[in-house]
Structure 1
Amino acid sequence: MNIGKKFLLDGLFFVIVMWLSSRLLITIAMLLIAPLFPAPSNSVAATFSWDVFYAWDSVWYEKIMTYGYDFSSDVKEIHTVAFFPLFPLLSRIVMFIGFSPKVAAILVNNSAFLATLIILYRWVHELYGTSTARWVTATLVWCPYSLYGTVIYTEGLFLLCTTSALRAFDKKQYIWAGFWGALSTATRLPGVALITAFIFVSWKERRGIKAYIASLSVGLGISLYSLYCQIRFGDALAFIHAQKAWRGDAAGFAWQGWWQMLMQITIGYTNFKAGYIKDPLHPLLLLLIISSACLLWRFRLHLGMVKFRNGVCFLWLLLWLLAGDELLKIPLVFGGIYLLWLSRAKIPLVTVVYGFSSLALILNTGITASAERYAYGIVSLSMAFGLLLARYPRWGYPIMYFFAILMFTFSIRFARDLWVA
């Protein structure tokens, strides 16, 4: 049986099952469980409606779909021009069929995310075989931040464009690489990391003029949007200037933000805000967890691998309950850098360079907000982590269970208009 038939019979079924089961978990959490919770002062009551998929950035995309772009030189106000056009444009096209803005945007994001999983599975299957393809797919689909591939955000579309561009360039399909790359930069600004990756690989592997043309074609999406901003608002960089409403003058590495995150993990938020150990329970519990981990490692041979693994999982769960979501952000971003370096010889070079370029962009925005969500949007990290889990599948299963728990809780929070990422 050739690869194509094998994929259709096995891979496509696996991808659809993974996608449906994870989206079902999100839907149950948002539509059935979230409405059971009373609304605190800093959130809204979740209802059994499309509104649970609509929060934070979703508001701005709906405004673009309904009223178009707006911008002024007043950087204290938030302007819709900060959001790139491809996602609202596709959603607007779907609206012509008769769907409301919210339903159209949900359909676009979910369809794009499913298409991403199919393309990614096929690509990884061609490179490494069935087992690795399944783990890479499971990593991307069950990561708790895949919630943003279902709600009204651009994650699904951005992953589709970047994954397709990377696969096409890796297979030397330069027309498709340029096409999908241009769509990436028309979806989100971090798509420009593809330009760096394509040019570097073109030089490193001496691919010729077609590869360089494809590399430069990636910038077509953002160039056309810049031209639109110049014609409409008289400012070619309006989409960058509008970001000051969120970022202010922040730039470079956010030392203070990352340090605060580390302190919240180690000594607790209350102690960090107070400037002294006001609540000794947090550091004491952390010390107890670390001591238990050391003992667990010391006696791992006596306990056996099963008990050792269960002990590690239990301690990690306790650590997450103690430290909160900050515990996830630091490993995802900085652990992603280390994981990419370890995998540099195993995954395609263009994927490695794209991953490092994207992480460099994330770390030089001057803020830490949404860093974990942006890191999730780097498909290179899912490939590297999936390869690792394929080597150690017995660790992979509890990790997927933990991901499912996080996905469930994140979905409830998003439905109640509480911050996730």
Structure 2
Amino acid sequence: MLYFFSKIFKNEWYFVFLMGLLSRGIIIFTMIGIAPLLSMSSENNGVTFGWEVFSAWDSPLYEQIAANSYDTLGSKPGSNVAFFPLFPLLMRLGMALGFSSNIAGIVINNIAFFLTLLVVYIWIKRTNGALVARWVIAILAWCPLSIFCTVIYTEGLFLLFSSLALFTFESKQYTQTMIWGILATATRITGLALIPTFLFIAWRKKLPLIAYIAGFVSGGGTFLYSLYCWIHFNNPIAFITVQHTEWQRKQGIDWEGWGQMLAEITIGGKNWASGAIADPWHPLLFLIIMAIACGLWRYRASIPQAYFDYGLCSLCLFLWLLSGDALLNTLSVLGGLVLLWCSRQRLSLVVYVYGLCALGLLLSSGGTISLNRLAYGIVSLSIALGVTVSRSPRWGYCTLAFFTVLLVTFSLRFAQHQWVAMLP
């Protein structure tokens, strides 16, 4: 057995595929094997044994676009216009080859995810070494939000094209950067963060004119979709307009949503909703956790390192049990900013700047819905976390153990049609 695992770690490709296969295996087993059995004794009877379990929430909208194109309400765009076209187009291609829409979506997303693991491994091994690359792959594969790289969503596809665009730009292969950038921005609007990233780095490093051109051209996917919306709906930003009219997104930063999430973490959801101290235990427990954390940090020099690490990990776990999804949603963005800043010396400039630009785009999106899922689609955050835990494996193992628990939990939620990327 020891010989088997030593061979896996020596052969980089075995390790990459093992991380992908094990994490996908847990997701598939949980969703197909466990969730339907649990649903038999619950009020949720919507879980079935079959591929339909991978289609929920946004998934049917992608299938609808693939089968019937975008909705129109007279001359106005329907709500599914908010979803970019590349993923549904690939699904339609799969349907033309004889696959059902859900099988096509599952296969495309999973293949893209495995290719992402390979690309990111090669990239990070070149910039940070093999050890860091393995940690980054483990983080990418076992992050609980990676469930959206297995179901019918665009996470796998977007991670692949954005990673390729960043990798090729850093390698000064600008023609490839344009191609991958166009595909990324045709998959999701957050791909537009590539443009300021490339332009800033081209200016900072005094790169040739072709680098600036690659930066502008990488937004071609969104430009082409905007042209489509202009022709069909007489509104070149229809994909943004419907988010404000149909989904009630705000303009700029959603201060109310962020305030609610921070309040749920510190004083508790019941107290926030009632405007009074209906649940005194939540703020009291929060203060106790913070006080113990401050004490551990203050006297860290006199505490054995293992005790200090496990103590902080335990406090993080208790804080999650207390605050739940509000904590995860907040840490995905605000914690991501802190993580990027703290690890900036060990990140390439491309990774660092793209992470900041993409998080800035999320913050200014006018909502807090699904922030943790959208943050997972920013490959810079997984790289930064992998770089950080590679310096302290004890934290890395605790993180992966916590991720595994959440991966199973999120898989059950999605299979039971419960919201995974939570509202505040």
- Shorter-chain TM-score: which interval? over 0.9
Correspondence for 1:272: 272
Q: Measure the CA separation in 1 of the matches of 2:242 and 2:416.
A: 27
Q: Following superposition of structure 1 onto structure 2, how do residues 305-316 of structure 1 map, counting pairs within 5 Å?
A: 305-316=305-316
Pair 1:164–1:304, CA change in 2 (3 A): same
1:408 aligns with 2:399: no
Q: Report Cα offsets for 1:179-222 as digits up to 9, x if no partner.
A: 00000110011111101111111111111111112112112111
- Which piece of structure 1 moves more, 242-251 or 61-70? 242-251
Q: Measure the CA separation in 1 of the matches of 2:230 and 2:294.
A: 59
Q: Report Cα offsets for 1:224-278 as digits up to 9, x if no partner.
A: 1122222333332222222224443611111111111111111111111110011
Q: Following superposition of structure 1 onto structure 2, how do residues 372-383 of structure 1 map, counting pairs within 5 Å?
A: 372-383=372-383
Q: Following superposition of structure 1 onto structure 2, how do residues 12-411 of structure 1 map, counting pairs within 5 Å?
A: 12-38=13-39, 45-72=46-73, 78-248=78-248, 250-297=250-297, 304-411=304-411
- Which piece of structure 1 moves more, 44-53 or 140-149? 44-53
Q: Is the 8 A contact 2:193 2:358 kept in 1?
A: yes
Q: Measure the CA separation in 2 of the matches of 1:260 and 1:362.
A: 17
Pair 1:349–1:242, CA change in 2 (3 A): same
Percent of matched pairs sharing the same residue: 49
Q: Is the 8 A contact 1:69 1:81 kept in 2?
A: yes
Q: Measure the CA separation in 1 of the matches of 2:246 and 2:287.
A: 37
- Which piece of structure 1 moves more, 200-209 or 106-115? 200-209
Q: Is the 8 A contact 1:193 1:354 kept in 2?
A: yes
Q: Report Cα offsets for 1:290-331 as digits up to 9, x if no partner.
A: 344345456656652333333322222222111111111212
Q: Measure the CA separation in 1 of the matches of 2:309 and 2:9.
A: 35
Shift of 1:19: 0.3
Q: Measure the CA separation in 2 of the matches of 1:39 and 1:267.
A: 36
Pair 1:204–1:290, CA change in 2 (3 A): closer
Q: What TM-score results when the alignment is normalised by the length of structure 2?
A: 0.92
Q: What TM-score results when the alignment is normalised by the length of structure 1?
A: 0.93
Shift of 1:338: 1.7
Q: Measure the CA separation in 1 of the matches of 2:151 and 2:119.
A: 21
- Which piece of structure 1 moves more, 142-151 or 238-247? 238-247
Correspondence for 2:4: none
- Which piece of structure 1 moves more, 331-340 or 173-182? 331-340
Shift of 1:38: 3.7
Task: Give the superposed CA RMSD.
Answer: 2.3
Shift of 1:151: 0.7
Q: Measure the CA separation in 1 of the matches of 2:160 and 2:262.
A: 33
Shift of 1:337: 1.0
- Which piece of structure 1 moves more, 203-212 or 102-111? 203-212
Q: Is the 8 A contact 2:71 2:78 kept in 1?
A: no
Pair 1:221–1:8, CA change in 2 (3 A): farther
Shift of 1:363: 0.5
Shift of 1:78: 4.7
Q: Residue type matched to 1:65 in 2?
A: A
SS of equivalent to 1:279: coil
Q: Is the 8 A contact 1:39 1:45 kept in 2?
A: no
- Which piece of structure 1 moves more, 282-291 or 179-188? 282-291
Q: Measure the CA separation in 2 of the matches of 1:284 and 1:65.
A: 51
SS of equivalent to 1:242: helix
Q: Residue type matched to 2:66 in 1?
A: M
Pair 1:9–1:210, CA change in 2 (3 A): farther
Q: Residue type matched to 2:174 in 1?
A: Y
Q: Is the 8 A contact 1:247 1:366 kept in 2?
A: no
Shift of 1:73: 7.0
Q: Is the 8 A contact 1:109 1:154 kept in 2?
A: yes
SS of equivalent to 2:364: coil
Shift of 1:8: 12
Correspondence for 1:3: none
Q: Residue type matched to 2:271 in 1?
A: N
Q: Residue type matched to 2:14 in 1?
A: F
Q: Residue type matched to 1:24 in 2?
A: G
Pair 1:42–1:145, CA change in 2 (3 A): farther
Pair 1:8–1:409, CA change in 2 (3 A): closer
Q: Measure the CA separation in 2 of the matches of 1:124 and 1:352.
A: 13
- Which piece of structure 1 moves more, 351-360 or 41-50? 41-50
Q: Is the 8 A contact 1:65 1:88 kept in 2?
A: yes
Q: Residue type matched to 2:72 in 1?
A: F
Q: Measure the CA separation in 2 of the matches of 1:20 and 1:41.
A: 30
Pair 1:20–1:219, CA change in 2 (3 A): same
Pair 1:226–1:297, CA change in 2 (3 A): closer
SS of equivalent to 1:22: helix
Structure 1, unaligned runs of 5 or more: 1-5
SS of equivalent to 1:243: helix
Q: Report Cα offsets for 1:337-395 as digits up to 9, x if no partner.
A: 12212333322212222111111110011211111111111111111111111111111
Structure 2, unaligned runs of 5 or more: 1-6
Q: Measure the CA separation in 2 of the matches of 1:222 and 1:324.
A: 35
Q: Is the 8 A contact 1:201 1:349 kept in 2?
A: yes
